[in-house]
Amino acid sequence: MCGIVGYIGDRKAFPILVNGLKRLEYRGYDSSGVALAQDGEIAVYKKQGMVVAMEEHALANNTSGSTGIAHTRWATHGQPSDENAHPHVSNSGNLVLVHNGIIENYQSLKDLLKGKGYTFHSETDTEVLVNFIEYVQKEEGCKLRKAVRLALTQVIGAYAVCIYDKNRPEEIVVAKLGSPLVIGLGVNEKFVGSDATPFLEYTKDAIYLEDGEMACLTAEGEVSIRMIESDVSVDPTIHALQMDLESIEKGGYDYFMMKEIYEQPRAIYDTFRGRLLPEQGMIKMSGLEEYADKFRNADRIIMTACGTSWHSALVAEYLFEEFARIPVEVEYGSEFRYRNPIIRKNDIVIAISQSGETADTLAAIKMAKAAGAMVFGICNVPGSTISRETHAGAYTHAGPEIGVASTKAFTSQVTVLTMMALELGKIRGEFSTSEYRALINELSVIPKKVEKVLESKEHIEKISGLYKDASNALYLGRGVNFPIALEGALKLKEISYIHAEGYPAAEMKHGPIALIDENMPVVVVAPNNGHYEKLVSNVQEVKAREGKVIAIVTEGDTEVINSADHVIEIPETLEALTPLLTVIPLQLLSYYIAVMRGCDVDRPRNLAKSVTVE
Ligand code: M6R
C-alpha cells in the first residue's frame, strides 16, 4: 500500500520519479505527489487521483531539480485529497517526507506537537511524522540522519520513509520497518523504490533494506546502513536484479490483467522448469531437499496466506492430504496472527504470498517462528520481505504481476504447491512410482492445456456480455475445485464490483439456493472427475429454480452440457491438476465483465496490489 520513489544524482529527477510512480501505481492510486529540491526551495506538486493528473499539474511548473522524492497513495489516515497526498513538508518548511505504512501512535505524537505549537494541514499520520522528526532535530540540535533515527525509535507502527532537508539536498535519508524499500545503485546516482521497478532501466544493482535499518544516500558516496535502534553499522548486500523492463510493460494488451492471464502457460512452465524432470521421473526442489527430514517427520502443515494466495493454500490442502497424507490446516494470516494457535515442534508452516510483503502473512510468519516452527515461504517477488523472513522456500517464477487481480501468481503458486505435494508424498512413501510419474508427466503438459483453454476467449467474451449487468453471482465447486469457486467469485467482485459468493456445491441447499431465480448466474466448476455425478445433480437443482448455469466442463462432457445454459470446455487432465485449468475461464469471465462495465481492471477501486498494512 502506497509506493515511494526517490532520486539523487545529476539527472533531472522529475521524469524518473513520475515513471517510477506509474510503475508503482499498483500499490495505490488515490493520490500522488513529488517534492523536488530546486533553487534552495522544496517544490511540491500533489494531486488527488492517478499519477498522470499530478504529472500534468507539475509540468505546468518548474520541475528542474535533481534531488526528489515521490509517492503514490492508498489512503489509510484521511480520505483521498490533495491535502492528504504526500509528500508532506514540516512546519519550518525545511523537511519533506514520503511514507508507506501506518504510524500507530500518531495521535499521541500529534498531541505532543500541538502542545509545542505545531500546526497540521492534513489528516495524515505522515505529516505528524515529518514534524516529529523536525521537533527531535531542533531539540537535539543534530543532523537529519540522527533526528530520523531518534524519532523512529519513538514511533510505533510500520514505515518505509524517504526524507530530505531543503538546506542539504545532497543527501536523502531512508528507513524501513515493515514496509518494503529498495535502493538502486547507479554511477554517481542513487534511486529509491518500494520495489525495484522504478529504476530498472538505470541499474541492476540493488540493496533491499531490512527491517529496522536506515541509510543515508548521496549521489556519489557509498551507502551507509545503520540499525535504527542501536545505531550499529551494517554491511550492505548488493543484489543483482533479474527483472527486465519488458516484463513490466503491457506489451500490446489493454490491461496488465489480460497480459498476465495470457502469460500463464509460460509462468507455469517457468515455475516448474528445472524442478519437474519428467524424463528422469523426479522432482527437484532445493528448498524442500534442505528440509527433507523435517518434512518427512512433520505431523502437520499449517498454511497461511491472504486473498487469492489463501485460495491456492486451500487447493494445496486437498493435494497434500491426498498425496502426502499430512494433515493440513489453512489459516488466514490475519486470523492466525491474533489467535493463540497451538504450534508443535513437528509442525511446518507454509506461508504463501505473491508480493512477499502482505502485512498479515508476514506477522503470522513472525509469530510462527517465535513459537519455534520451521517456516517455508512461497513468494513471487525475489528478495521480498517474506522470502527473507522464512527459513526456506520456493519462488514461483511468474514474473512481475502488476494487475491488482492475481492471476498468473495463483496458477504458479498452485504449480509449486502441487510439486511439493507430490514430492512429499514420495519422501513419505505414500504413493506408487507409477502414480507419481503419471502426475509429473501430466503436470509437464499443463502449459499446453492452458493455451487450449485460452482459445475459448471469444466464447467466454460472448457469455460475459449476457451477464455483465447481473447484480449477484454464485460460484459452485467440489473437492479441489471448491477453492476455484471461491477464487472465481473473488475475481468477479474485486474487478467488476458484482457481488459474488463461492460455495462448496453441496452447501447450496443449506442456504444460498434461496437466492436462485431467473436473474442469478451460477457458475459451476464441473470437470469430469470424482465429483462429477454430484455436480450434475447440483446443476439440475439450479435449473429447477430457473437459475442460469455457466458450467466449466471437460471436453466431451455428456451430461452437464444437457442442462447448463452455457458450457466452457477444458481439456481432459488428472483430477488433482484440474484447478490449473478450471480457473482460467473464471479469470477471463471476470475480466470481460469488468471491461464491459467500464471498470478499471488493473486498478479496482479501494484496492492495492500489495497490502502492507494490516
Ligand atoms: O501478495 P499476496 O499474495 O500476499 O496478496 C494477498 C492478497 O492481497 C491478494 O491475493 C488479493 O486478494 C488479490 N487482489 C486477489 O486478486
Instruction: Name which residue sits closest to atom 11 of ligand 1, judged by CA.
Output: 307
Alpha-carbon Rg of the chain, whole angstroms?
Answer: 25
Inter-axis angle of helices 51-59 and 13-24, nearest 10: 170
* Residue 76 belongs to some domain of the structure: yes
* Strands across the sheet containing 182-186: 41-48, 31-38, 67-73, 3-8, 189-193, 182-186, 205-208, 239-240
pLDDT of residue 76: 75
CATH number of the domain enclosing 307:
3.40.50.10490
**Same domain assignment for residues 224 and 128:** yes
84 CB near ligand 1 (under 6 Å) = no
Q: What is the pLDDT of residue 301?
A: 97
Taking the C-alpha atoms of residue 415 and residue 267, their distance in angstroms, rounded to an integer, is: 10
Check pocket membership of 354 for ligand 1, CB cut-off 6 A. Answer: yes
313 and 343 share one domain: yes
Distance 610 CA to ligand 1 centre (A): 7
Active site residue 2: yes
Mean pLDDT, the chain cut into blocks of 10 residues (614 residues total): 93 97 86 95 94 94 95 84 94 97 92 97 94 97 97 93 96 93 96 94 94 96 95 94 78 91 95 93 90 92 97 98 95 90 92 94 93 94 87 92 95 98 92 91 98 98 97 96 98 97 93 90 94 91 93 95 96 97 98 97 84 73
Same-domain status, 375 and 509: no
Specify if 194 maps to a domain.
Answer: yes
Instruction: Round to whole Å and give the CA distance between 83 and 435.
Output: 62
Place of cell 483453454: 453
Burial of 390 (0-12, 13-18, 19+ CB in 10 A): buried
In a domain, 184, yes or no: yes
In a domain, residue 423? The reply is: yes
Residues 6+ apart with CB under 8 A from 390: 351, 365, 375, 376, 377
In Å, the largest CA–CA distance within the chain is 81
Catalytic residue among 46, 47, 166, 609: 609
Residue 219 belongs to a domain: yes
Q: Identify whether 608 is part of a domain.
A: no
- Kindly name the residue from 2, 162, 216, 306 that is annotated as catalytic: 2
The pLDDT score that the predictor gives to residue 30 is: 86
The verdict on 306 and 394 lying in the same domain is: yes
Name the region of 328 (left: φ>0; alpha: ψ -120 to 50; beta: rest). Answer: beta
407 CA: nearest ligand 1 atom? 16
Instruction: Look at ligand 1, atom 4, and give the residue with the nearest C-alpha.
Output: 353
CA-nearest residue, atom 14 of ligand 1? 405
Substitution site in 29, 194, 256, 308 for ligand 1 pocket (most atoms within 8 Å of beta carbon): 308
Q: What pLDDT was estimated at residue 238?
A: 94
Domain match, 424 and 536 both: no
CA of 452 to the centre of ligand 1 (A): 26
Whether 168 and 286 map to the same domain: the answer is: no
Domain with 554 in it: 454-601
Q: Which residue do the cell numbers 490483467 mark?
A: 257
| Pair (97, 227) in one structural domain | yes
User: Same structural domain for residues 89 and 237?
Assistant: yes
Structural domain includes residue 613: no
Same domain, 475 and 438: no
Asked, for residue 295, whether it belongs to a domain, the answer is yes
From 247, 270, 299, the end of a domain falls on 247
**pLDDT of amino acid 611:** 77
> How many whole angstroms from 20 Cα to the centroid of ligand 1?
22
Count of domains observed in the chain: 3
Of the residues 201, 226, 247, the one at which a domain ends: 247
306 is an active site residue: no
Query: Terminal CA-to-CA distance of the chain, rounded, Å?
Result: 10
Is the CB of 308 within 6 Å of ligand 1? yes
Please tell me if the CB atom of residue 612 comes closer than 6 angstroms to any atom of ligand 1. Answer: no
Residue with CA nearest ligand 1 atom 9:
307
Counting from 1 in the atom list of ligand 1, the atom nearest the Cα of 308 is 10
- Please tell me whether residues 238 and 256 are part of one structural domain: no
Do residue 419 and residue 520 come from a single domain? no
